């Protein structure tokens, strides 16, 4: 099973690079003072990075596999890359909220409260929303949602890419 060892190195390499790219984007946003209310283009950039790195990693795997790729192999590589990048993102988030910006969650809550006020919500509704959001602020829950979100995003992108890029030995005859 040479392909498994090969897929592991591709997954780790591209996942690491994608994770570092994501951290650099987030550090840039923080340095610009936009971390509490980033521009919509940041989401586009992060999505493009995810798609690009998954596409390249699946293509590299296919090349290393003699030009052949099953749908399952493509999905495995893509989801693996997304999960590795997600783990790096979780580590960055923990360090960010622990050392760089320990008051980040409170600052975000203030921004969200102002947004809800601007939308015409009552103080009681805002307080209820704050109580509900406090249930999701533990590091474990944040990490779980981040990794699950990475896996789902990676699955969607890699499922489509693998369906387009798949090629079996039977197709060559």
* Residue range 42-94, pLDDT digits in tens: 999 999 999 999 999 999 999 999 999 999 999 999 999 999 999 999 999 99
CA quadruple 75, 54, 84, 26: dihedral, nearest 10: -150
The answer to whether the beta carbons of residues 159 and 75 sit under 8 Å apart is: yes
Q: Residue range 4-29: average pLDDT?
A: 93
Query: The pTM is what?
Result: 0.90
Question: Tokens 């998954």 label which residue?
Answer: 54
The model's pLDDT over 96-144, given as tens digits with 9 standing for 90+, comes to: 999 999 999 999 999 999 999 999 999 999 999 999 988 888 888 999 9
Q: What is the DSSP letter of 65?
A: T
The pLDDT of residue 169: 74
> 86 vs 168, which has greater pLDDT?
86
Rounded distance, CA 161 to CA 144, Å?
25
Rounded distance, CA 12 to CA 77, Å?
10
**The tokens of 28 are what?**
């840039």
Rounded distance, CA 122 to CA 171, Å?
62
Q: Could you state, in order of their start, the residue ranges of all structural domains in the chain? A: 2-172
């Amino acid at each position: 099973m040479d392909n498994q060892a090969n897929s592991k190195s591709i997954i780790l390499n591209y996942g690491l690079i994608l994770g570092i790219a994501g951290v650099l984007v987030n550090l840039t946003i923080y340095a610009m003072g936009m971390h509490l209310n980033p521009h919509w283009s940041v989401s586009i950039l992060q999505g493009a990075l995810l798609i690009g790195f998954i596409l390249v990693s699946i293509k590299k795997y296919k090349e290393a596999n003699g030009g052949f790729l099953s749908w399952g192999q493509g999905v495995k590589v893509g989801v693996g890359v997304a999960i590795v990048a997600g783990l790096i993102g979780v580590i960055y988030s923990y360090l960010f909220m622990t050392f760089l910006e320990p008051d980040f969650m409170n600052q975000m809550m203030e921004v969200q409260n102002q947004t809800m006020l601007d939308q015409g919500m009552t103080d009681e509704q805002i307080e209820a929303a704050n109580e509900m959001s406090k249930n999701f602020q533990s590091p474990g829950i944040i990490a779980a949602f981040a990794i699950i979100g990475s896996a789902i995003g990676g699955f969607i992108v890699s499922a489509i890419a693998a369906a387009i890029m798949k090629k079996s030995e039977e197709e060559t005859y």
